[in-house]
A = this chain, B = another copy of it.
Amino acid sequence: MASKTNPGNYFEDFTLGQEIIHATPRTVTDGDVALYIALFGSRFAFNSSSEFAASLGMPRAPLDDILAFHFVFGKTVPDISLNAIANLGYASGKFGAPVYPGDTITTTSTVIGLRENRDRHSGIVYVRSVGINQNRETVLDYVRWVMVRKNDPEAPEPDPLIPQLPDAVDVGDLEVPYVLQLHNYNTDLAGSPYLWEDYEVGEKIDHVDGITIEEAEHQMATRLYQNTARVHFDALMHKHSRFGRRLIYGGHLISLARALSFNGLANAFRVAAINGGRHVAPTFAGDTVYAWSEVLDKMEMPGRRDLGALRLRTVATRDAPATNFPFRDDAGKYDRTVVLDFDYTVLMPKRP
């Protein structure tokens, strides 16, 4: 009689080219949207108002792109990262079809890289995960890599393959919803007069506001995405662990940083790509999170006069305001207050 519970995959269970259909398809709803606003306080009018979205040609307000990310990501956890030691990075994330309440999201992953660690107790798994909707349109396609424990250190080592990953998603690969047209874009309702032309490469913005995280909040968020990693929920198990308490899902910080970035980037209405990301340090309930952003690049969008793209780095800090833009020292070491270093590309209206 086999054990009926899911032990997760260990490093030696992954094979190059392996395809995994992840469980629990998820119909997203207005309820998810309301909870997301309640948990993060997001204010982008494009996601908040169906009237505003309709004025731009959309059928209704799409989900916040980062919320869509969490749904796609959450499904991969029971198969990819249940035995993970660390979530190492993201790359090549392209948002496709906007996600609307009523859509059903399913995720499949392909193993695109493997490399055992020298100590033979773990290895790095690279997966490309694709989230689709009920019409089989891709809503998000991204790569992440994780360090996963081996169950049996003696299990044979796979041929190492580290995939080539781009530094950033190419502007030609960014998807703009084809119904979108911005000539009615209302900056009063959007909350800021600053458009694509007003931002400069190298410009840094302190997003000013801070949010203190409660246990109930990160637990509810993480469960909403059906992310099952025990480390976020089981305080007893963690009493005698390294940190002595529950760790907050790294994606929670991405959502907080994005919501905080409204104050300074209110017209960055759509996340088009995730170029990279690093969870620099763990966070815990009680931490107060701040964020700042730097404009890394400024790109015209091929074939579009009404909008442009900005490549941004948004950095989240804990328990220290971001007034002085804490980041890395000359040796490349992150400031001790930094918890997230997130590199992504947004769309922003241009002046008419």
A residues near B (Cβ < 8 Å) are 1-6, 21, 23-27, 29-35, 37-41, 43-45, 48-52, 60-61, 78, 101-102, 104, 106, 134, 188-192, 194, 198-200, 203, 205-212, 214-217, 219-224, 226, 228, 230, 233-237, 246, 263-266, 286, 288, 319, 321
Contact = CB atoms under 8 A, between A and B. Distances in A.
B189 A21 contact: yes
27 contacts: A1-B203, A2-B198, A3-B205, A4-B199, A5-B205, A5-B207, A5-B208, A6-B192, A23-B43, A23-B189, A24-B44, A24-B190, A26-B49, A29-B34, A31-B33, A31-B34, A35-B35, A39-B223, A41-B222, A43-B228, A49-B104, A51-B106, A210-B236, A211-B219, A212-B233, A215-B216, A236-B288
A203 B2 CA distance: 11
Interface centre among A29, A102, A236, A286 (most CB of B within 10 A): A236
Contacts of A217: 216, 219-220
B34 A224 contact: yes
Identical subunits present: 3
Contacts of A44: 24
A194 B1 CA distance: 11
Contacts of A50: 27, 102, 104
B191 A25 contact: no
Contacts of A35: 31, 34-35, 38
Contact of A31 (B31, B208, B219, B233): B31
